Structure 1
Amino acid sequence: MKTTLLSFLLCYCFIHLTVVVSAKCLQDQQSLLLQLKNNLTFAPQFSTKLKMWNENTPCCNWSGVTCDNEGNVIGLDLSGEEIFGGFDHSSSLFRLQYLQKLNLAYNNFNSSIPSGFSKLVMLNYLNLSYSSIAGNIPMEISKLTRLVTLDLSSFSNSKEQGPTIYNRNLPTFLQNLTSLRQLYLDGISIPTMGHKWGNALLPLRDLQELSMSRCDLSGPLDSSLTKLVNLSILILNGNNFSSSVPETFANSLSNLTHLTYLDLSYNNINGEIPLSLFTLPSLEEIYLSFNRLSGSLQLDNVLKLKSLTALDLSHNNISIHENVVNVDFSSIPKFRYLSLASCNLNILPNLLINQSTLFHLDLSNNKIQGEIPNWIWKLQDLIFLNFSHNFITSLEGPFQSLISKLEFLDLHNNKLQGSIPSFPKHALFLDYSNNNFSAFPQDIGSSLSYMNFLSFSNNNIHGSIPDYLCNASQ
């Protein structure tokens, strides 16, 4: 999801920066574009650009087309046009020699990338993401030495049908692309060991954003990555590193002073989280969930990251301990997303108090006991709250201020008793199952208006079912 969002934002920014510089349009440029349109197969009902192109309007006024002052086409955005079948090597697209930006994301080519792209030597932005590209990524793309942004991301998880860059080709593919600042290769099969793919990236000294999720990469993480000192975003989730974090990598992490976003989730990484991670001054988001990380982590290490807004350590084998005394709430990170599921927590961390910007909190599958204090219901931005699979016995009231924005509340598999509390006003998902509740709430008003899922199963509820449940409808 995160990597898809990045590609979407790239497309969005490109679309909204596309402006018509001049109404003048050179005849040869217009002819090439009309020829391109006529040779493409696309779905007119989904098209917002191609279907509007016609010879009666100057091409520099067409949606998706950007021209320079001389009337040359320098930008082309055909993202989301439902183009089928791709391009052949002789396509008129490859004769648009002044093109600097080309966005073909979110189409349905179902074909390999033609080598003709190497003719577009002026390109500094190329986006072919999520367009059902297949086969080997052509080495000819490495001739586009002006590229600043390259996005070849794919939805494919199939090694047979999805796009591939073979191990021996990766250094050749990257070695000339030294101007790259953003590189997105999500879903491209690159079955390569850690030191090999890490070293292949070394020529990209200006790289700021690197996303290689679901790339069949192997571990261990190599210290060569930390030589990319300009990195601000590093996304490597969904690979199979199957090793601990090497000491050489941990010791050189301090080089990445500009790193704001790190995603190493779903990677089978084992061993302890290196404490050097919590010395990176710019870190805002950390995702390490669904690994095999172990050992203890003191929360005061996390609090050193003053800019941190998102932390996900869920579903590992770590034990988190809060050893913070006399917390200065004004100095702790302001979280928006916090997921500490399956982290062996025994208590509700005090750092959560006054987290006014928090919208996602997952503390499920821990060992939290006793009462949930009522300040949790006062976190007014909270949308997602999961306390399932704990040992919670009660919820401190009053519930009049039960979070107005809360859409997802999961309290199943606890030891809650007494009457079920009032429902959040805009809840979509409520799970109170597998507790010891004995009674339905008296009055829920219009709280069922938005509900998609509601469960009271396996409780000790007695008496009649209230009318508001009998009358509930979709």
Structure 2
Amino acid sequence: MGRRLLFSLLFLTLFYQIISSIHATCLNDQRSKLLQFREGLNFDFIYANKLQNWNESTDCCRWDGIRCDSVGHVISLELPDQITSIQNENWKSLFNLEHLEYLNLAWSDFHDAFPVELRNLTGLKYLNFSQFGFFSTEESTTSWCDTLSFLSKLQVLSLSGVSRLGPICSSLLNLTSLTVLQLEGNEFSASVPDFFANFSSLISLGLGSNDFHGNFPEQIFHMPTLEIIDLSYNNELQGRLPEFQAFGSLKEIILSSTNFSGSVPNSIVNLRALSVLDLSACKFQGAIPSTLGNISELVYLDLRFNKFSGSIPSFQMSRKLVHIDLSLNALTGPIHSAHFEGLPDLQSITMEDNFLSGRLPSYFFALPSLQSLQISSNQFEGQIDQESLTINASSSLLMELDLSNNRLGGQIPNFFLHLQKIVVLKLSFNSFTGNLRADMFSGLRSLKTLSLSYNDFLMDATCNSTSTCLSSLPQLNDLELASCNLKIFPEFLKNQTLLTNLDLSLNKITGEIPNWFWNIRNGSFQNVNLSFNHLEGFQKPYNFSSISVLDLHANQLSGELPLPTPSMEYLDYSKNNFNVSIPPRIGEYLLGCVYLSLSNNNISGKISESICNVGSLKFLDLSDNSLSGGIPGCLFAMMENLIVLNLAGNNLQGLMPNTFSENCVLGTLDLSKNALKGKLPNTLSNCYLEVLNVGNNYLEDNFPCKLMENRPDLHILVLRSNRFHGEINCKWNNNESSWPSLQIVDIARNNFSGFLPAQLFLNWKGMMIEDIGAEASQPLQYEVSDFVIYLDYRHWSYQNVVNLTIKGVELELGRILTIYTVMDFSCNNFQGEIPDAIGELSALYLLNLSHNSFTGPVPASMGKLAQLGSLDLSVNQLTGKIPINLENLTFLEFLNLSYNQLVGKIPSGKQFQTFTESSFMGNRGLCGFPLNFSCTNDGLMNNNGSSSSTPVSLSTSKNHEIDWAYVSATLGFSVGLGIIFLLNRFGPGWWQRFDASFFHFILRILGLEVQERLYGNPL
């Protein structure tokens, strides 16, 4: 039980150890029952070292796992992790040992129902069936807790990990002597029984890792004897911390990964004996109470992954603190010396992913017991004052120091370079400056991880005859030097015998990769990231024999395609200059591969069918090459682990194979920009698609209603520029939404016809989200969770890409947030009125219905599309006036209503003053700014298209004076956007630091004259 070991359990253990030294001769009936018990068991004679030594000719009181009282009765049976299964019913002779007080059969596997015969052991005080193989059956007439209710002397009951016990019944209340109740890791799926509060002697209650739900009974916190309560990992369990009474008995409160919420009450200070408080991964909010730091017995505090805000309280009164974790909250403000100074036992401080700011206090490094300091992803800035340090670096116990992703500057403190015990040193994503020499870290002989990426260093990678460089770092395992202005491969790498993971990405390294590079660690090099350099080739011979992860994308590599080895799991050759064919037997070299990208090269020829033999492959990207021929049918039939398949931008021809496996797990299928013909395969509905892009082909089919019926998780559907035809006439399911997650639908430039059904829009719940929070604005991506690549401290992920065409400009979005909502139905043959239901899509950003045959008015409901940034209804047959409430669309940056039959005065709201004449031209009945004709008193035009009064030139009319403030603002925003595009194009390292919210603005200014093509995140 680790730190949770109770005094009562210690007492019982000590009691049995004392009596173990007092032996009586084993009684014959006791020996007989024990041997019969063993005959009913199956056990491993090698590992069951206790049972195998039981011998009929020896005293059973001296058998391993057996203790007797002074008379010779067996009172203790302790056989944890000894029994594999039962052989016959003889094992139940165990329950005839009526004097038994201590029974421990943990980690056994009986595969049988909970034994009702257990009720015979009425003298039992300690029972441990943890990780036991019992289970309840429907035929069982007596529940496990009814059986245990006969054991009135039971003090310690541990049934953790039994898993299939069935419900908890109130008959447990008969266990009036119970002090410890451990029920963790079962499958209890109910509310927590409030009768637990009636246990008058209970000291420890463990209910963690179950499926309890509902509100937790608050009165349990007030039980007078309770010292330990563990409710962790019950994700649906709700509750709040109550006001605590004076001198409460609780010592440990563990609520990790539950739905407990609200604030932590100031009265928690009344828990004077509290030593462990774990509220991690809950939903607590508000300030951390200042009284928390006054609990003098507090040893372990974990408040991570909540919504705590405000400043950090002082913990100076909690002088026994050993561990404190405040990470992943919203804490703000500076850290003062009163927060942690003077805590003699403090070993670990974690405050990463907050908004803490100011200077980093140097007293952190003077804490005498500190071993780990992790404060990454905050806003600390400036230089670290090392002159005030009162401790010598060589005597520091610091083993892990993570200051990454802050705003720290100046040179690396000399103090860091003399930490004798440091194992992990992470300084990446800061503004440290200076000339960095390879020998500066040579004294850190315990160092295993060194991360210096993304600073402002000028690094000298050469080693001269007098320099020790990093050769004296015998433990170095992970080295991250991304964006360190390197121009050559660091020579000190030759001396590293344990180096496993290396990141040299985003540097200026040119020429060939030297062949010695692959022999680092004597052929055991594993993870290599050389992306975003200027590498041109490989010096032969090269050896990939031990490489698991190789990222060479965004270089200038050419020539033959270097073949991987079967040990390689992640391979990225994308964005290079390879212009050869895919080797016919490439599958033989990829037997363990999970991720393969050859995109953005000039690779030609056919797709080798040998790829189909790579059963482990989950991500395959061959897009933007010159591949020809057909798509191998085996690619869909055999690759049942494939999550992403991207073959876009090639010259592939023929039909799409109708061979998708019944076990298809494909989430992204992008076959756009090829020359495919025929229909969408029926078997495509077997796949759990989130992204389907078959745009710019020659496909001829109806709208894919079957996909709508069977696959509700679709986020992106692109059918544009094909030969799809017919009406959208699906069978709507009124009880379930069809494609409720859909966020981008582009069916432009096809031959669809008929009326748009209102139900189509009502089903798309993903476009109706008005409250856009942080959880809703995550990238639509797949985690390649098996690999941690040292590029930006996160798992590799495959990010989906989609092209949007606005005003004839193709915009490639390489980081699609789940809040982006786009609808493009342009260039089809739709007719009839635009359904009013379109106004329900309140989260819509882009709407294009142009170049159709829509009639009737512009729906006034469009005025509810508060997030709309671009609206194109041009080239239709719309009539009536422009709805005045379109003025309320304050985010609208592009509007095109041209070439319809609209009449009346153009709304004069400020937003409409930013649009040019081209937004309204071709409507002979419109008048007012920005057109060259004013309106009559009734706001109508004459039949001949001119005003009934003399046209008034807008350049001289005071009533229609142009608001140059809005025009200049738009112009300035366009210039700013152009600068951002240039930075993105020429500085990929800068782009990685750019906040994802930029994309939110892109979708609001798509109406501007964008001339550059936006590329996605280089990751």
TM over 0.5, shorter chain:
yes
Which residue is equivalent to 1:228?
367
Whether the 8 Å contact between 1:370 and 1:391 is mirrored in structure 2 is yes
Q: 1:437 aligns to what?
A: 578
For 1:73 and 1:194, the matched residues in 2 are separated by: 41
In structure 1, C-alpha distance between the alignment counterparts of 2:600 and 2:512, rounded to whole Å:
21
* RMSD between superposed Cα atoms in Å: 4.3
d(CA) in 2 for partners of 1:234, 1:292:
19
Map 1:328-407 → 2, pairs under 5 A: 331-353=472-494, 355-378=496-519, 379=521, 380-399=523-542, 401-404=543-546, 406-407=547-548
Deviates more, 1:360-369 or 1:436-445: 436-445
Whole-angstrom distance in 1 between the partners of 2:272 and 2:437: 46
Which one is further off, 327-336 or 208-217? 327-336
Aligned match for 1:448, one of 583, 587, 590: 590
* 2:253 matches 1:114: no
Q: Secondary structure at the match of 2:589?
A: coil
Aligned CA distance change for structure 1 residues 388 and 330 (closer, same or farther; 3 Å): closer
Equivalent residue for 2:358, pick from 219, 224, 232 = 219
In the aligned structure 2, how far is the partner of 1:217 from the partner of 1:438?
A: 50
Output the amino acid matched with 1:367. K
Contact 1:133 1:163 in 2 (8 A): no
Question: How far has the Cα of 1:206 moved from its partner?
Answer: 1.1
Number of the residue aligned with 2:926: none
Q: Could you tell me whether the CA contact under 8 Å between 2:316 and 2:339 is conserved in 1?
A: yes
Q: Residue 8 of structure 1 corresponds to which residue in structure 2? A: none
Aligned AA for 1:393? E
SS at match of 2:518: helix
User: 2:283, 2:392 → 1: CA distance?
Assistant: 31
Size of the aligned set, in residue pairs, is: 439
CA distance in 2, matches of 1:157, 1:240: 23
Tell me how far 1:274 sits from its aligned partner.
1.5
Distance 1:114 1:33 in 2: 27
Identify if the C-alpha distance between structure 1 residues 296 and 382 changes in structure 2 by more than 3 Å, giving closer, same or farther: same
Question: Residues 280-299 of structure 1: matches in 2 within 5 Å?
Answer: 280-299=419-438
Query: Aligned letter for 1:137?
Result: V
Amino acid at match of 1:468: S
Instruction: Tell me what 1:6 maps to.
Output: none
Higher alpha-carbon Rg: 2
Distance in 2 separating the partners of 1:59 and 1:151:
22
- CA 1:286–1:98 in structure 2 vs 1: closer, same or farther (change >3 Å)? same
Contact 1:146–1:177 (Cα < 8 Å) also in 2:
no
Name the counterpart of 2:210: 81
The letter for the 1-side match of 2:532 is H
Match for 2:486: what amino acid?
L
Query: How do 1:16-95 residues align onto structure 2 when only pairs under 5 Å count?
Result: 21=13, 24=125, 48=163, 55=172, 62-64=182-184, 77-84=206-213, 87-91=216-220, 94-95=223-224
The residue that corresponds to 1:135 in the other structure is: 262
> Contact between 2:180 and 2:204, CA under 8 Å: does it hold in 1?
no
Report the Cα distance in structure 1 between the residues aligned to 2:504 and 2:285, rounded to whole angstroms: 34
Cα distance, 1:177 vs structure 2 = 1.9
Q: How does 1:204-283 map to 2 (within 5 A)?
A: 204-248=343-387, 254=393, 257-283=396-422
Amino acid at match of 2:313: L
Superposed displacement of residue 390, structure 1:
0.7
Q: Aligned in 2, Cα 1:284/1:32: closer, same or farther, shift over 3 Å?
A: closer
Distance 1:311 1:201 in 2: 27
Residues 1:425 and 2:552 are matched in the alignment: no
CA contact 2:448–2:478 (8 Å) conserved in 1: yes
Amino acid at match of 1:398: P
Q: Deviations over 1:33-88 (max 9, x none)?
A: 99xx9xxxxxx9x99499687749977584559xxxxxx76655544334445645
Deviation at 1:285, TM superposition (A): 0.1
From the superposition, tell whether residues 354 and 185 of structure 1 become closer, same or farther in structure 2 (CA, over 3 Å): same
Report the residue type matching 1:403 in the other structure.
S
Aligned to 1:40: none
Contact 2:126 2:156 (C-alpha < 8 Å) held by counterparts = no
SS in 1 for 2:435: strand
* Partner residue, 2:308: 164
Higher relative contact order (CA 8 A, sep 6+): 1
The answer on whether the counterparts of 2:308 and 2:330 sit within 8 Å (CA) in structure 1 is: yes
Distance in 2 (alpha carbons) for counterparts of 1:29 and 1:344: 72
Superposition deviation, residue 203 in structure 1: 4.4
Is residue 222–residue 249 contact of structure 1 (8 Å, CA) maintained in 2? no
Distance 1:201 1:147, change over 3 A: farther
Name the CA shift for 1:262/1:91 in 2 (closer, same or farther; >3 Å). Answer: same
1:317 to 431, 445, 456: 456
Is the 1:78–1:105 Cα contact (8 Å) retained in structure 2? yes
Q: Cα deviations across residues 426-468 of structure 1 (Å, max 9, x unaligned)?
A: 4333211222223246443533344443222333434454443
- Partner Cα separation in structure 2 for residue 29 and residue 266 of structure 1: 57
What is the CA–CA distance in structure 1 between the aligned matches of 2:443 and 2:609, rounded to whole Å?
A: 52
Contact 1:25–1:59, Cα closer than 8 Å, also in 2: no
CA spacing shift, 1:460–1:298, aligned 2, 3 Å = same
Per mean C-alpha deviation after superposition, the further-off stretch among 231-240 and 175-184 is 175-184
Q: Deviation at 1:308?
A: 0.4
Change (3 A) 1:306 1:79: farther
Instruction: Report if aligned partners of 2:157, 2:180 keep a CA contact under 8 Å in 1.
Output: no
Partner SS, residue 313 of structure 2: helix
- Unaligned residue ranges in structure 2 (runs of 5+): 14-101, 104-124, 128-150, 186-200, 288-304, 612-631, 643-1019
AA in 2 matched with 1:332: L
Cα distance change, pair 157–408 in 1 and its aligned pair in 2 (3 A): farther
Aligned-partner Cα distance in 2 for 1:334–1:274: 22
The answer to whether structure 1 residue 304 and structure 2 residue 431 are counterparts is: no
Taking structure 1 as the reference length, the TM-score comes to 0.76
How many Å apart are 1:388 and its aligned residue? 0.4
Q: CA deviation at 1:394?
A: 1.8
For structure 1, list consecutive stretches of 5 or more residues without a partner in the other structure. Answer: 1-10, 38-43, 66-71
Q: Secondary structure of 2:512's partner?
A: strand
Please say if 1:181 is aligned against 2:322. Answer: yes
Instruction: Supply the AA of the counterpart residue of 1:134.
Output: S
Task: State the secondary structure of the residue aligned to 1:91.
Answer: helix
Q: SS state of the match for residue 393, structure 2?
A: helix
Task: Kindly state the Cα deviation for residue 207 of structure 1 after the two structures are TM-superposed.
Answer: 0.3
Matched to 1:389, the amino acid is: F
Question: Partner of 2:780 in structure 1?
Answer: none
Q: What SS does the corresponding residue of 1:224 show, helix, strand or coil?
A: helix
C-alpha displacement of 1:302: 1.6
* Match of residue 226, structure 2, among 97, 104, 119: 97
Measure the CA separation in 2 of the matches of 1:238 and 1:50: 44
Amino acid at match of 2:360: L
